[in-house]
Structure 1
Amino acid sequence: MTTPPSPSTPPSARLDLPELISQTLWLVVHGPDPDRPDARNEQELGVGTPRQAIRALRPGGIVAFAWSGNCAHPQQLAHLVAALQDTAGEEAGMPLAVAIDEEGGRVRRLPPPATQWPSARALARAAGPEEAQARWAAAGTELLACGITTNLAPVVDVDAVNNPVVGDRAFGTDATTVSAHATAAVEGLQQAGVAAVAKHFPGHGAVAGDSHEALPHSAAGRASVEDRHLAAFRQLFADARPAGVMTGHLRIAALDGAEPATTSPAITRDLLRRELGYDGLVLTDSLAMGALADREPGAVAVEALAAGADVLLTPPDPGTAHAAVLEAVEQQRLSADRVAEAADRVAAHRTRWRAEGDGRAADDPSHRSLALDLAHRAVVVNDPVGLLPIDRALVVGATVAGPARGLADALAARGVAARLCELGGREGIGDGPLPSGDTMNAMAGDDPLVVVSEPGHDLTALLAATGRDSSVHVRTAVGEPALPRPAEPATTVDVSLPGGDHALVAATAQRLARTRERY
């Protein structure tokens, strides 16, 4: 039986080894209600309900997702978290860490009426760090209202390879901009009472691949990695103290030619801890990601802890991870002191960062006004022919379910008679021929043509082929500058407009229609 905890007694002094290992596991629990069974819980955790998962597994934390059914509404999320916190208090005598990815833009979990903030790139384009700090503080108050203790943000990656995986999630393409805005994010969130987790150390911008799908590699030299990517983290640590740092599933040869950062002592222990002096909580990225799919899950858990991680984030099979770590300690392949150190850090985090609320404070009109103002300023409009505002349009996009669809829907919601033409599949039009200018003119008729270019699918040639002045070129991008400026008479809109960035989609539609409603 667990000894009743004392505030001055660390877990390593009162918990047995299996309980210490459980501290390092932060899990996904499925469903919107603490006591509603979900087959996914049974399959992944061996129990039916979220509450049963907390009682049986005693994890150090959970991570809330929309896809897991946790985030249907702020008040629903707050109710779920409060119930699980009650159970955690009964079982462990301390609150759970409750984490979420709430970056803004396309990476967000809280649904309306919580504020839909624009992306990091749009924020940096629209505001300086001081104003940005207020945005993050506002977001922190909404997270607290939902019971969230830990935000897995900000992204401290420098978008050096124009990688859509990072893209507009990064504040910019240079370490100075990124570190300044990351500092603002950390200070804003933590002043509001929410722990900030800087990610993805040592810098996902150094690689071009998608770690959700496979393990990305970088052959860049040490000087390049240091000057462009590590520099952002170094400056952040000099200016602020994020409660956590998340390592990335990245293999960077200049730092460790054999192991990704997740399982690399050279990167986590030697570089992050010793050289950079970071002594806070270190989390892995999700261990369920494709980057680690070809590795045995239990071995990854052991190697990540041995490398210096404190939190094993959302392992695909928590039972396997727990058993593997226990066996490794018993066989002296992993130090019991390392597990105890990790568990003590997790417990300190759980005790320091607390949140409670009923979700109602996540509905704040002043925050939504701030988000819309920032999004408006991030949308750059050039209208040399005086086309705007428009009250009808044919919106043309290269991809199905891409930014053109979101823009057409947003225009229609603002009274514009918007029709949609999508030229290709989800991956775009590929190498196939574009429709002729005559074809597009026939489709548009007298309606203005709104052509949406996006990375990899530049529709400048299509727009030029129409030869019309009554057109708008929405030039979306994930980096700066958006796209090479064409010699065209069309009205242009430069914006980073991924389909999931509701704030920027709304702001772009409002700029085209010149509506004045509140977001």
Structure 2
Amino acid sequence: MTGVLPSPRVTIAALLLAAVGVATGCAEAGTGTPNTTPSSADESSAAPTSTAEPATPAARLAATLSDEDLVGQVLMPYAYGASATEVSTGSAAGNRKLAGVDTPAEMIERYRLGGLILVGFSADDPTGSNQPTTNVDDTAQVRQLTTGLQQAAGRLPAAALPDGGGELPLLIGTDQEFGIVTRITQGVTILPSAMAAGAAGRPELTEAAWRAAGTELAALGVNVDFAPVADVLGVDSTVIGSRSYSADPAVAAAQVGAAVRGLQAAGVAATLKHFPGHGHTAVDSHGDLPVLDQDRDALGAADLPPFVAGIDAGAGLVMSGHLDVTAVDPGVAATFSRKVLTDLLRGELGFDGVAVTDGMNMAPAQVLPPGEAAVAAINAGNDLILMPPNVSAAYDGLLAALRDGSLPRERLQQAVTRVLTLKQRLAGAAAPPMTVLGAAGHYAAARQLAAAAITQVRGSCSGVDGPVTVTASEGRDRTRALLVEALRAGGVEVVDRGGTVVHLVGYGDGTADLSAGAAVTVAMDTPYLLASSRSPSLLATYSSSPASMEALADVLRGAAPAPGRLPVPVEGLPATSCTG
């Protein structure tokens, strides 16, 4: 059984925001002086001894660490290669360019890393622009990789608490949101998207599904999930899409809290992102700095509730967004804003876990060189630097700033203490066996959530008459095959042409991908495209997962209801509608 993260320390009642102005008396974050002091990751300098005994084992360990170890613990880069110690020539070249080493294990040891993120992307992945490689091939490979990474980290001074307090794991994270951002796709239980869960509106099903998913991540050696997305989807936003649970802050808050509880009950730390909310923006932060232009009242009412709910549920991490939050600190990305991360996140919301940046290889974070950017992010209140574009430069910049005082030692030790505290919470439990991957009970949890999400937006609730032809927009052969298989398994005759036409549309599709002759159009991503469909029957699954296609087949053949409700408003369409 995996370890369970601690229960929450705050309550929603205490935190739901009376939208008041953020205190502005704190000093702005310094940028440090990167790359000015030559250093080697192999050097060692003793940290000064404090006259006061630190209060916790994590704080006591942080107080003993050298400058180099302190700096390394706040870095969580990616690496090239499917193995910790044996990589291809191309992967070795990538690691040398990124960090001056050949393998992921060497990167961990040289830079005393606090964590490492597993990366990868698919053709439909909107986050692909900052995923330069992949080290996720299959489940056996992932487990072997994470084992090798932990072995490398176990040789570091920061691997154990003082006084026999236990071995501390490397933080190994990935973006396993489900839906369009899913790094590990083969051999594991795939949940429906966040928006599907929002349509279902049953947090208990979300919690059960995410506990199943967390158990499988733990079996693979992943102890941090950069999920759930806590962004509330605005009417004009085209960025976050089905990664968001809902346009309703209360619905999103209930779902986010459930996902956090499920993941952390399985011993995997959850991450709320992208603070303080990416859902009301029209610009993708992978390419430019979005402006979040709500006033302070609107920010408190429309964006913050899911973060409050996730904090109340005990989320281990909050990810700062590359967002210009004009109501709090205009013109400054939240990544570099002390007003956002220290005054708002810490002071007002009471979060005391690990604040992690979004990928620092994204365009808005690269307005500063890697060393300066890392220092500015830590000074603002982040505790962990994710995906620096140059590990060596980030490390050297932090070390130089620590030694010249532009990065206060107290701030860095505070950050490291939070990182070590999270590691302590994740330590001690054996990983579940690989036999839990794709377990029947886990798939049942995903299937139940998918079934509760199916929404009949227009048309009859009595199913369709056979025979049925299933069509889909280009590139969706696999999803179409899943639905055909499920329909046939339920006794429906499926033909290549003729009969009742069921047409599938998904992520990235537009009006040109609609079928004029379809009796039924099904939206497998956001439901907005349904407003342009002339089909007499409209359904939404919000997801193309196997569980969602099986649930859709049951509805189409009249064997199950479509109980979901639209989690976002769609012009001209009701939240739910059945006429038969």
Change (3 A) 1:418 1:316: farther
- The 1:413–1:303 alpha-carbon spacing in structure 2 relative to 1, beyond 3 Å, is same
Q: For the residues of structure 2 that align with 1:69 and 1:221, how far apart are their CA atoms?
A: 40
SS of 1:266's partner is helix
Matched, 1:147 2:224: no
Q: CA deviation at 1:510?
A: 6.2
Q: Are residues 49 and 236 of structure 1, via their aligned partners in 2, closer, same or farther at CA, if it must alter by over 3 Å?
A: closer
Q: CA deviation at 1:511?
A: 4.9
Structure 2 alignment gaps of length 5 or more: 1-43, 47-55, 122-132, 160-167, 561-580
CA contact (8 A) 1:172 1:178 kept: yes
Structure 1: segments with no counterpart, 5+ residues: 420-443
Higher deviation after alignment, 261-270 or 174-183:
174-183
* In structure 2, distance between residues paired with 1:203 and 1:44: 30
One-letter amino acid matched to 2:79:
V
Aligned: 1:28 with 2:109:
no
CA shift digits 1:471-511 (9 cap, x unpaired): 322245526x773386x5633222324x6x55435544665
| Match of residue 357 from structure 2 | 284
Distance 1:365 1:89, change over 3 A: same
Task: Tell me the distance in 2 between the aligned counterparts of 1:302 and 1:196.
Answer: 25
CA distance in 2, matches of 1:418, 1:409: 12
Tell me, yes or no, if the aligned pair for 1:412 and 1:418 is still in contact at 8 Å.
no
Equivalent residue number for residue 494 of structure 1: 540
Does the Cα contact within 8 Å between 1:452 and 1:459 map onto a contact in 2? no
Q: In the alignment, what sits opposite 2:116?
A: 62
The answer (yes or no) to whether the contact 1:75–1:358 under 8 Å persists in 2 is no
- How far does residue 450 in structure 1 lie from its aligned partner after superposition? 3.8
Q: Residue 269 of structure 1: CA displacement? A: 0.9
Q: How does 1:368-517 map to 2 (within 5 A)?
A: 368-381=443-456, 384=460, 387-393=464-470, 395-397=471-473, 400-401=474-475, 404-411=476-483, 413=485, 446=498, 448-452=500-504, 457-458=510-511, 463=516, 466=517, 471-478=519-526, 483-484=530-531, 490-497=536-543, 501=545, 503-505=547-549, 507-508=551-552, 511-512=555-556
Question: Distance in 2 between the 1:512 and 1:95 partners?
Answer: 47
- Structure 2 residue 339 is matched with structure 1 residue 266: yes
Structure 1 partner of 2:284: 210
1:232-381 aligned within 5 A: 232-237=306-311, 239-354=312-427, 356-381=431-456
User: SS of 2:538's equivalent?
Assistant: strand
Match of 2:140 in 1: 75
Cα deviations by residue, 1:387-418 (Å, 9 ceiling, x for unpaired): 4444434x253xx54xx555434345556877
Query: C-alpha separation between the residues in 2 aligned to 1:361 and 1:489?
Result: 42
Q: What are the equivalent positions in structure 2 for 1:124-163 lying under 5 Å apart?
A: 124-161=198-235, 163=237
Alignment deviations for residues 155-199 of structure 1 (CA, whole Å, 9 cap, x no partner): 111011353431111111111111111111111221221111111
Q: Give the stretch that moved more between structures: 32-41 or 272-281.
A: 32-41
Are 1:48 and 2:48 matched, yes or no? no
Highest RCO, 1 vs 2 (Cα 8 Å, sep ≥ 6): 2
Query: Is the Cα contact below 8 Å between 2:357 and 2:382 reproduced in 1?
Result: yes
Distance 1:483 1:162, change over 3 A: farther
Q: Deviation per CA, 1:40-71, whole angstroms, max 9, x where unpaired?
A: 22221222222222222220001112354432
Aligned AA (1:110) = I
Distance 2:436 2:410 in 1: 42
Shift of 1:367: 0.8
When residues 183 and 34 of structure 1 are mapped into structure 2, their CA distance, relative to the original with a 3 A threshold, is same
- Check the 8 A contact 1:387/1:491 in 2, yes or no: no
Counterparts of 1:84-163 in structure 2, within 5 Å, are 84-92=149-157, 93=159, 94-161=168-235, 163=237
Query: More displaced, 42-51 or 193-202?
Result: 42-51
SS at match of 1:32: coil
Q: Please state how far the C-alpha of 1:202 moved relative to its aligned partner.
A: 0.4
Measured against aligned partners, the alpha-carbon deviations of 1:252-281 in whole angstroms (never above 9, x if no partner) come to: 211111211100011001111112221111
Q: Distance in 2 between matches of 1:336 and 1:65?
A: 31
Mapped contact 2:524–2:540 kept (Cα < 8 A) = yes
- TM-score, normalised to structure 2, is 0.75
Amino acid at match of 1:11: L
Alpha-carbon deviation of 1:141?
1.1
- Partner AA of 1:64 in structure 2: L
Shift of 1:447: 5.6
CA distance in 2, matches of 1:379, 1:338: 48
C-alpha distance in structure 1 between counterparts of 2:559 and 2:137, whole Å = 29
Number of residue pairs the alignment of both structures matches: 474
After superposition, the Cα gap between the structure-2 partners of 1:270 and 1:357, relative to the gap in structure 1 and judged at 3 Å, is same
The one-letter amino acid paired with 1:285 is D
What is the deviation of 1:231?
A: 2.9
Residue in structure 1 matched with residue 16 of structure 2 by the alignment: none
In 2: Cα distance, 1:322 partner to 1:369 partner: 45
Taking the aligned partners of 2:108 and 2:194, their CA distance within structure 1 comes to 33
The 1:460/1:191 distance shift into structure 2, 3 A limit, reads closer
SS at match of 1:330: helix
Any idea what SS the aligned residue of 1:410 has?
helix
Give the secondary-structure state (helix, strand or coil) at the position aligned to 2:304. helix
TM-score, normalised via structure 1 length: 0.83
Q: CA deviation at 1:25?
A: 0.2
Q: 1:245 to 1:231 in 2, by over 3 A?
A: same
* C-alpha contact 2:450 2:541 (8 A) present in aligned 1: no
Give the 3 Å change call, closer, same or farther, for CA 360–43 of structure 1 in structure 2.
farther
